[in-house]
Amino acid sequence: MSSPSAVAAQPGTRELTLSQAVNEALAEEMRRDASVFIVGEDVAEAGTPFKVLSGLVEEFGPERVIDSPISEAGISGIGLGAAMTGMRPVVDIMFGDFMTLVMDQLVNQAAKIHYMSGGRLKAPLTIRTTLGATRRSAAQHSQSLHALVAHVPGVKVVLPATPYDAKGLFKAAIREDNPVVVFEDKMMFAVKGPVPEEEYVLPLGVADVKREGEDVTLVATSSMVYVALDAAEQLAADGVSVEIVDPRTLVPLDRETIVASARKTGRAIVIDEGHRSYGVGAELAALIAEDAFYDLDAPVRRMCAMDVPIPFSPVLEDLTVPTADTVAAEARRLVGKE
């Protein structure tokens, strides 16, 4: 994966991997606020299988970086209880597929408690988990289930694509007073990008235009941003100017930036790695169709994971998700340059 050109290395920045950026965000927040702690499977000595949290247990000790048994429902319940009683827990769910086990605590409890208590209770719970296919992890470890979570009012959903975004948004998530789920694509942990030396926090609900263009808008989430950037390079060679909008957070959603881009170019493809039907792609496409209708020169397209379980066979798995080639081909069709 190439780095987005939109954020160039500048004085006062370093190249970090997305993994390092998340680690740095957690460390900074834990130093800043003693109520922040981490709980999850293999988060301490192992630093997670992806090594994102390496070194944190050494600095903050096993009391604040807690290895849990394999029980996502239990961990999330612990996290929610702690959150409601004054802590700022970060619950680590190793694979997004197991968000299904978190759902009762998250959907029926965490998402509702602030509302049902008339605002008297808060649940400053952050859940960090993963999404994304093509890691050859088969059907139960390859899903992108962020749409399930984004569907529920009361939960904020963050999908960072770059190290810069990941760090700034993660810090914002921890500081939120109600539940936030951060989905990181497990294929992006090694992606490098510039991150300022100085501390910063990015607001939730502000999209980022990763590339400016005139002919077609690609609204891309998470690692699909890189698919879009590669497609844009291909398309530029064909004389098609591509604008890429990364919503960065699904909830809250920066409708204005997405719609403004679609209105500017008149054509939009929404690229998201969740399943196509009833998903994030459908929601973003509907938003564009509703609010940019009279500026659209072509139907809004969705490019998502196929509506099938993600296959283990690498050959088949690669067919189920959008690629730069398929996105570029779809964009060419849309602008009439097949």
Residue 294 interacts with other proteins (CB under 8 A): yes or no: yes
| Nearest-approach distance from CB 335 to other proteins, in angstroms | 10
Interface residue with other proteins among 59, 199, 297, 318 (CB under 8 A) is: 297
Q: Shortest CA distance to 97 belongs to which of 150, 42, 142, 134?
A: 142
| Nearest-approach distance from CB 322 to other proteins, in angstroms | 21
Interface residue with other proteins among 115, 200, 278, 293 (CB under 8 A) is: 293
| Nearest-approach distance from CB 288 to other proteins, in angstroms | 11
87 vs 298 by CB, closer to other proteins: 298
Instruction: State the binding string over 193-232 for other proteins (x if CB under 8 A, else -).
Output: ----------------------------------------
Q: Shortest CA distance to 83 belongs to which of 183, 177, 170, 204?
A: 177
| Nearest-approach distance from CB 294 to other proteins, in angstroms | 4
In our burial notation (b when 16+ CB lie closer than 10 A, e otherwise), range 95-109 reads bbbbbebbbebbbeb
150 vs 334 by CB, closer to other proteins: 334
3-state secondary structure the chain: CCCCCCCCCCCCEEEEEHHHHHHHHHHHHHHHCCCEEEEECCCCCCCCCCCCCCCHHHHHCCCCEEECCCCHHHHHHHHHHHHHCCCEEEEECCCHHHHHHHHHHHHHHHHHHHHHCCCCCCCCCEEEEEECCCCCCCCCCCCCCHHHHHCCCCCEEECCCCHHHHHHHHHHHHHCCCCEEEEEECCCCCCEEEEECCCCCCCCCCCEEEECCCCEEEEECCCHHHHHHHHHHHHHHCCCCEEEEECCEEECCCHHHHHHHHHHHCCEEEEEEEECCCCHHHHHHHHHHHHCHHHCCCCCEEEEECCCCCCCCHHHHHHHCCCHHHHHHHHHHHCCCC
Interface residue with other proteins among 206, 295, 312, 324 (CB under 8 A) is: 295
Q: Which of 114, 141, 146, 275 is catalytic?
A: 141
56 vs 334 by CB, closer to other proteins: 334
Residue 336 interacts with other proteins (CB under 8 A): yes or no: yes
197 vs 294 by CB, closer to other proteins: 294
Query: Which range of residues in 15-23, 147-155, 287-295, 304-312 is near other proteins by CB under 8 A?
Result: 287-295
42 vs 295 by CB, closer to other proteins: 295
Reported as half-sphere exposure (CB side, CA atoms, 13 A), residue 34 has a value of: 0
Residue 298 interacts with other proteins (CB under 8 A): yes or no: yes
62 vs 299 by CB, closer to other proteins: 299
Q: Shortest CA distance to 56 belongs to which of 29, 47, 91, 34?
A: 47
Query: Which range of residues in 28-36, 86-94, 172-180, 289-297 is near other proteins by CB under 8 A?
Result: 289-297
Query: Which range of residues in 47-55, 98-106, 197-205, 291-299 is near other proteins by CB under 8 A?
Result: 291-299
Whether 141 sits among the annotated catalytic residues: the reply is yes
Number of residues that bind other proteins (CB under 8 A): 8
| Nearest-approach distance from CB 3 to other proteins, in angstroms | 34
Give CA separation, 234 vs 213, 220, 255, in Å: 13, 16, 27
Query: Which range of residues in 83-91, 110-118, 161-169, 296-304 is near other proteins by CB under 8 A?
Result: 296-304
Please list every residue from 242 through 281 that binds other proteins, using CB under 8 A: 266
200 vs 293 by CB, closer to other proteins: 293
- Which positions are annotated as active-site residues? 141
Give the binding site for other proteins (CB under 8 A): 266, 293-298, 336
